[in-house]
A and B are shown apart, each in its own frame.
Chain A
Amino acid sequence: DAGVTQSPTHLIKTRGQHVTLRCSPISGHKSVSWYQQVLGQGPQFIFQYYEKEERGRGNFPDRFSARQFPNYSSELNVNALLLGDSALYLCASSLAATSGSSYEQYFGPGTRLTVT
């Protein structure tokens, strides 16, 4: 079975531009979460979606938005890019959005975003 896939792998954007990152969860997983990992730090939670509804939001500005599609894939959008948005963006999928073994998250390889 395919794992979590993310596209693109790498991306270079200019300040002020907009970017869309994509994630396909493991087949059968209904929950997708997005994380930002700045170099040298642990991942920071951005969003969680379950059954196409937002179930959690981290401490990120409104420039960050996301959505989940009927096939459970997801997009993360970032507007008005800043230099500080340069990071590895990770997507994780799970069967469910709450506790227990069904919450175990499986991570994709990430999208490396560089803002110049």
Chain B
Amino acid sequence: AQSVTQLDSHVSVSEGTPVLLRCNYSSSYSPSLFWYVQHPNKGLQLLLKYTSAATLVKGINGFEAEFKKSETSFHLTKPSAHMSDAAEYFCVVSVSGGSYIPTFGRGTSLIVHP
């Protein structure tokens, strides 16, 4: 069984300040972890992924995430928020063995103030 918990439904930051979106996961096997972003009326776009290589993963648009097995976390960070980062962010977990059925978190809405 697998599950993912996004700890904040909304995160509000000012432009130019750091972003932290928190994600905890639960998995019986070695997980693959993803972060997706969804802008209003648009499809989901992959930001970054962890698949058992380096624990610090760099993604697009300056985002990073660190896989911490001891804390079962995969938090998403960005040093400096931009207005265009305002969107819905989803943390996703999937596990190996047969087919990969991904489980999405409920999402975190990132609000960026000027």
Contact = CB atoms under 8 A, between A and B. Distances in A.
Nearest to A44: B104
Given A48-B99, A98-B100, A99-B32, A43 B43 contact: no
B67 to A, nearest CB: 15
Main secondary structure of the interface of B (DSSP, over half): loop
Main secondary structure of the interface of A (DSSP, over half): loop
B103 interface: yes
B interface, size bucket? 20 to 34
Interface in A64-116: 90, 92, 97-101, 103-110
A56 B43 contact: no
B25 to A, nearest CB: 13
Contact of B90 (A43, A106, A109): A43
A101 B102 CA distance: 15
A109 B36 CA distance: 14
B43 A109 contact: yes
A31 B104 CA distance: 19
B11 interface: no
Interface in A26-76: 35, 40-45, 48, 55-56, 58
Contacts of A21: none
B44 A107 contact: yes
A106 B45 CA distance: 7
Given A42-B107, A99-B51, A100-B51, A4 B99 contact: no
Interface in B81-114: 90, 96, 98-107
Contact of B106 (A42, A45, A110): A42
Given A41-B107, A99-B51, A90 B44 contact: yes
A107 B49 contact: no
Interface of B: 32, 36, 41-46, 49, 51, 90, 96, 98-107
Given A41-B107, A100-B51, A109-B42, 7 more contacts: A42-B105, A55-B99, A58-B101, A90-B43, A106-B46, A107-B45, A109-B41
Nearest 6 CB-CB pairs, A to B?
A42-B104, A56-B99, A107-B43, A107-B44, A55-B99, A109-B43
